[in-house]
Amino acid sequence: MPEPQENFSPVDDPRLKLVDRAMKRLQYQPDALIEVLHTAQEAYGYLSRELLAHVSAKLKLPESQVLGVATFYHFFTLRPRGEHNCIVCTGTACYVKGAGEIVKAMESSCQVQAGQTTADGRIFLGTARCLGNCSLAPMLTLDGRVHGPETPSGAVEKLQQLLEVQDESN
Amino acid sequence: MNRTELVELAENLEQQRQSMALRLLVCCGTPCVAAGAEAVVAALREKVAVSETPVNVDVVGTGCLGPCSRGPLLTVQRSRETDVIYERITPQQAVSILDACLGKADVPEQGRLPDNFPFFSCQTKVVLATSGRIDPEDIRQYISYGGYGALAQVLHESSPQEICDGMVTSGLRGRGGGGYPTGLKWQLVRKESGVRKFVVANGDEGDPGAYMDRSLMESDPHRILEGMAIAGYAVGAEQGYIYVRGEYPLAAERLRKAIRDAEHLGVLGSRVLDSSFSFRVDIRIGAGAFVCGEETALLASIMGRRGQPRIRPPYPAQAGLWDCPTLINNVETFGNIAAIFTMGPAAFAAIGNGKSRGTKVFALCGEVVNTGLIEVPMGIPLRDIVFAVGGGLPGGAPFKAAQTGGPSGGCIPAEKLDTPVDYENLQALGSIMGSGGLIVMGETSCMVDVARFFMEFCLDESCGKCVPCRTGTIEMYRILTRICNGSARPIDLENLEKLCLMVKETSLCGLGAAAPNPVLSTLRWFRDEYEAHVKERRCPAGVCAMNELPIHEMADELLRRIAAGRVNGEAF
């Protein structure tokens, strides 16, 4: 699979400036790698290979180490995510209350497996190991907003509503 | 600010609070916000702004109060009267309660929780004493309840050695799950020579089904900071780090603000409360790796590396961050410190049971009526937690098991409901105290599937450094999957047990060593369920879907069933 192409132009990219500023603030300490990657992912949405190379050069770290850290942690993604994020919690409480059914319903509604982005790039469907909202089990987040307790059909409906709202505003 | 000024400020703020004729506290924990708490706060503030009343009314958005499934929650505090708590409040209801209070009428009964509601009356609040009572973003409210008073007291009255001795007397043990005596750990770090030492708070709460640390960090961030500062003074560290799980952005934001406010007031930073002691705290955000809850992995992550554990010794107390002596405690452990020195170590030690002193915060969830955050004294029978505090299972359904300790713990069966909940007794049952997730399960949960659920978690989260954990979790998961879909043979059960013991004995860190626990404990208490899956291809809870058998095996199976007198049209 080809690497996604990112128009990575170091000159005058405000997103890159954010990353550079973070590195400067942290005095280019190699120990600050994870914090820099957090900032980078927040700015770009994902970590491209060019971006990682840039960070490794600035922090004077081998590229292998930067890639090693970026791939170790679940939080970092090397591919672009969808416009909307739908994360279904599959922690123990949600599992006991039937989160599996919600995942299945969302998968068939979006036509993707959990962990993938839809072909049109609109929705990223993910699962999380526990979002710490166990009293709302089973729960999910749509673009960071918490919904729960949720039923499989209710979850699909909420996702559709989210997409429709955006369609109308366009 | 010095100690006298702090005491004066606390007195003034307390008087100010007492002088309020009416205080309306709206719980703004995440579950309550999801249920509409923000609209309640807005409606109340609007009403207070337009109503011209002679009395002082205060509307406060607080941290988590506890009974999360009943949100949004509203606490009404009137001077010289007991607090009244309302559940599932709407903005209209809240406004009518406000009107009633202002009109000196009796407060409405609708939605009111009884005064001796067992959810609250069975709890002992030490760590959560001010959670749900103060605005977590306002340092002055924490101070008005005596906040930072313990820090001021120990800085002026106790030597570091006396603090460590006090910690030993209190009998406090690590609340992250390990249960190592906190006082001994502090002594070890204190005795290490070294110019630089560090204090680290572990807020990387990764157990699925547990959210105590999140709630504490979001509801009462200053309590953690105060505990860390006392620890810093006791062990001789001037720098602290709080490692916050990446999934908890609100906790990180609140802690950041708390640190800024505390430094601004001079209760943190250089020359704390005009003493010669300086203490700074920085925040590190995790990036989603369960293994980072392990202390050596957490230290690696703070230093910007892959969060992989290493062999101990040397323990972090000898060589931790940048090879300097480092004290690591869970955030809940730090939440206990201020209370220990406010009430006195001996008084703290009076709470609890056997070698487990003090209280424990649990996230009570699953198939139980009152889900939420609770704090109970150590040694309380499990039955009281599930049935008194939790209100039993919905619809009075029968209790099957309680899971504690997440993927490192185990399941406690119904016949052990009267076990006192403390470190030793839970361990004797094959479970652990863990960080505090307590998930209640009814008859609709299949114990084999539960074990498989946790094994899937562990195989996914194994960091891959040591072989027993990396490959052992995968093999155990495969066997459990075969058992769940009905294609296992009796020898699989035998192999599963052997594999469990091997992984337990030979893994590098706690993740691998504890990964077999959910399997071992369910095998111990629910072996009949495993055997029903393997021998009868039947899931007693009706959760697991069995594969179809190949035709030749189907014939064998039919013969077996005829021999067992079990031909009842059941599917193969």
Residues B452-483 have pLDDT tens digits of 999 999 999 999 999 999 999 999 999 999 99
At residue B354 the predicted structure's pLDDT band, cuts being 50, 70 and 90, is very high
Q: Chain A closest CA to B438's CA: distance in Å?
A: 9
- Confidence (pLDDT) at A19: 94
pLDDT at A168: 72
Q: What per-residue confidence (pLDDT) applies to B106?
A: 80
- Say what the pLDDT of residue A2 is: 45
Please name the residue ranges forming H helices in B303-380.
Answer: 331-343, 345-349
**pLDDT tens figures, B80-109:** 888 999 999 999 999 999 988 888 778 888
Q: Please determine, for residue A6, whether its predicted confidence score (pLDDT) is greater than 70.
A: no
Nearest to B30 among A72, A128, A146 (CB): A146
The kind and range of the H/E element at B297 are helix B295-302
Give the per-residue pLDDT at A10. Answer: 62
Q: What angle do CA B404, B85, B364 make, to 5 degrees?
A: 5
| Phi (first) and psi of residue B281, to 5 degrees | -125, 135
pLDDT of res. B569: 58
**What ipTM score was computed for the predicted complex, to two decimals?**
0.89
The distance of Cα A127 from the centroid of its chain, to the nearest Å, equals: 11
pLDDT at B174 over 50: yes
Backbone angles phi, psi at B181, to 5 degrees: -60, 120
Contact between A96 and B284 using a beta-carbon 8 Å cutoff: no
Residue B39: pLDDT band (50, 70, 90) is: very high
Tell me if B367 sits within 8 A of B442, measured CB to CB. yes
When pLDDT is cut at 50, 70 and 90, the band that residue B54 belongs to is low
The pLDDT of residue B571 is 59
Residues in B 51-80 with any Cβ partner in A closer than 8 A = 68-69
| Type of residue numbered A43 | A
A53-108 pLDDT, tens digit per residue, is: 999 999 999 999 999 999 999 999 998 888 899 999 999 999 999 999 999 999 99
Tally Cβ neighbours within 10 Å of residue B571: 8
B31-61: b or e for each residue (b if 16 or more CB lie within 10 Å)?
bbbbbebbbbbebbeebbeeeeeeeebbbbb
Minimum-distance CB partner of B365 among A75, A93, A129: A93
Summarize pLDDT for B230-271 with one digit per residue, the tens: 999 999 999 999 999 998 999 999 999 999 999 999 999 999
Q: Which residues contact B241 (CB under 8 A, 6 or more apart)?
A: B198, B199, B200, B201, B281, B282, B283, B284, B302, B321
Structure tokens at B77: 């505090």
B218 contact A CB<8A: no
Distance from CA of A135 to the nearest CA of B (A): 5
Pairing of strands B84-86, B280-285: unpaired
Which of A10-19, B11-20, B121-130 has the lowest average pLDDT? A10-19
Q: How do residues A42-55 score in pLDDT, each as one tens digit?
A: 999 899 999 999 99
Q: Is the pLDDT of residue B568 over 70?
A: no
Q: Which of A130, A136, A146 to mutate to test binding with chain B, by most B CBs within 10 Å of its CB?
A: A130
Band the pLDDT of A1: cuts 50, 70, 90. Answer: very low
Residue A3 has pLDDT above 60, yes or no: no
State chain B's mean pLDDT as an integer.
93
Give the count of beta carbons closer than 10 Å to the beta carbon of residue B505: 11
User: Contact, B119 vs B66, CB < 8 A?
Assistant: yes
> Is the distance from CB of B423 to CB of B179 less than 8 angstroms?
yes
Cα B304 from Cα B431, distance rounded (Å): 33
**CB spacing of A96 vs B439 below 8 angstroms:** yes
Chain A residues 97-116 with CB within 8 Å of chain B: 97
Query: What burial class does residue B482 get, using C-beta atoms within 10 Å of its C-beta: 0-12 exposed, 13-18 middle, 19+ buried?
Result: middle
User: Could you report the per-residue pLDDT of B210-231, keeping only the tens digit for each?
Assistant: 999 999 999 999 999 999 999 9
Rounded CA gap, B450 and B456, in Å? 10
3-class SS of residue B391: coil
Note whether B31 contacts A136, CB cutoff 8 Å: yes
Q: Do B307 and A72 touch (CB under 8 A)?
A: yes
Q: Tell me the per-residue pLDDT of B498-510, one tens digit each, with 9 for 90 and over.
A: 999 999 999 999 9
Which B residues in the span 434-493 are in contact with A, Cβ-Cβ below 8 Å? 437, 439, 441, 445, 453-454, 457, 460-461, 463
